[in-house]
Amino acid sequence: MNPGQTVFAQVMEFLPHWEFQKCVKRYQGDYKLQTFSCMDQFLCMAFAQLTYRESLRDIEVCLRCNRAKLYHMGFRSRVARNALANANQKRDWRMYADFAQVLIAKARKLYANEDFGIELDNTVYALDATTIDLCLSLFPWAHFRKTKGAVKLHTLLNLRGSIPEFIHISDGKLGDVNVLDILIPEPGAIYSMDRAYVDFARLHTLHLSSAFFVTRAKRRFQFSRRLSHPVNKTTGLRSDQTIRVTGVETSKDYPVPLRRIHYYDAENNKHLIFITNNFPLPALIIAQVYKARWKVELFFKWIKQHLRIKKFYGTSENALKTQIWSAVGVYVLVAIIKKELGLEQSLYTILQFLSVSAFQQTSIPKAFTDMNSQNQEGRSCNQLMLFDL
């Protein structure tokens, strides 16, 4: 890594440029373009995400103020607000979706052995969706309610490293459970979901794909108990049963046995009923897998706070999806940098550093090493002693 490079250029060095060009060529993104290539567009969107730019004009002004450094940051064309707006509106968003998947595949290898609090050999996913509210007059295609627009971000989060491995962007009306029709199950993986995904026909499809699911049972769930297993009630478990679904339609949709686990959450004073098709795992591990599902909620909260996916630079569907997929690519890229450089800081700290240092010519590893040493010196020299020893 060249210490004379700007921080932004060092970040972009981690991009597999040849894979990006493959994605662009797949959708003829640079066809007949003479200026402002797809790479220039992606660099602008990545810069906007890293530095929290508010608008297209904000991006243009900020980059033009540092035009002497742009060539060495990877830009090969003059940055103009209209050019970026037209690119976001017209160039196929699937280029950036495919490229984000390339980065996700790279991040998955780096975080394959990451600890997430549960000792399991299986890959564990959390599936959920979040709604991004939109103004219906500006986004008339984003159907949700009569007076309100929205899109949904359906996300499958790998709990090892909190890497989103599947994302589907739909209008606000699409039911969460419908995403199971799009999802390609991974044999041996465990999918943790809330009650919105309880559809026994779709769950049976997961079962036939040799995948496992853990979810909560809906109220008025009709079943018959076939077998009860002993449990240690001091752990919060109340029962562990083998059951069969007995509803008129649901018994046809899911004709094989299920496992029903009753767990009491003493901390929140709640009784939770889990259903799963995984019989070998201990009942307490099943409860812990469902609890870990909340990482996807934290992921949604994090990206809404720290990435630009609530305010958009364009109003077309293509522009919105381009911006969201660029944000996902930047999130995964920062996760890759954290792992490859061995940085101990959180993603939040790394993003904050990148946001204020994009144009600085300092080595990223050295900057964080200096940051650690300053923190240690500050604690050792300035920390007041409570007691004189």
**E-only strand ranges, 58-217:** 124-134, 143-145, 148-158, 163-171, 190-192, 212-216
pLDDT at 384 > cutoff 60: no
Alpha-carbon Rg of the chain, whole angstroms? 24
Structure confidence at residue 386 as a pLDDT band (50, 70, 90) = very low
Q: Which helix (H) or strand (E) holds 375?
A: helix 364-382
pLDDT in tens, 219-274: 888 999 999 999 999 999 999 999 999 999 999 999 999 999 999 999 889 999 99
pLDDT in tens, 277-317: 999 999 999 999 999 999 999 999 999 988 989 889 999 99
Structure confidence at residue 1 as a pLDDT band (50, 70, 90) = low
Distance in Å from the first CA to the final CA of the chain? 47
**CA distances (Å), 232 to each of 13, 215, 287, 289, in order?**
53, 21, 13, 18
271 CB burial (10 A radius; 0-12, 13-18, 19+) = exposed
pLDDT in tens, 97-123: 999 999 999 999 999 888 888 888 899
**How far is Cα 101 from Cα 209, in angstroms, rounded to an integer?**
22
Q: What are phi and psi of 58, to 5 degrees?
A: -60, -45
20 CB burial (10 A radius; 0-12, 13-18, 19+) = buried
Report the percentage of the chain scoring pLDDT > 70.
Answer: 95
**How far is Cα 39 from Cα 33, in angstroms, rounded to an integer?**
12
Q: Do 47 and 373 meet the contact criterion of CB atoms below 8 Å apart?
A: no
The stretch 337-365 carries a mean pLDDT of: 91
The stretch 341-363 carries a mean pLDDT of: 90
Q: Which helix (H) or strand (E) holds 11?
A: helix 7-12
Domain boundaries, the chain: 7-95+315-379, 194-282
Q: Which helix (H) or strand (E) holds 95?
A: helix 94-110
Residue among 188, 189, 190, 206 nearest 198 (CA):
206
pLDDT at 380 > cutoff 70: no
**How far is Cα 155 from Cα 144, in angstroms, rounded to an integer?**
19
pLDDT at 2 > cutoff 80: no
pLDDT at 370 > cutoff 90: no
- Please give the residue that has the higher pLDDT: either 247 or 387: 247
Structure confidence at residue 319 (pLDDT)? 96
Structure confidence at residue 264 (pLDDT)? 94
- Name the CATH code of domain 194-282 (choices 3.40.50, 3.30.1370, 1.10.3470, 3.30.70): 3.30.1370
Structure confidence at residue 367 (pLDDT)? 87
**How far is Cα 366 from Cα 349, in angstroms, rounded to an integer?**
15
Token code pair at residue 234? 């001091």
pLDDT in tens, 134-186: 999 999 999 999 889 999 999 999 999 889 999 999 999 999 999 999 999 99
pLDDT at 388 > cutoff 50: no
pLDDT at 27 > cutoff 80: yes
In whole numbers, what is the pLDDT of the chain averaged over residues?
A: 91
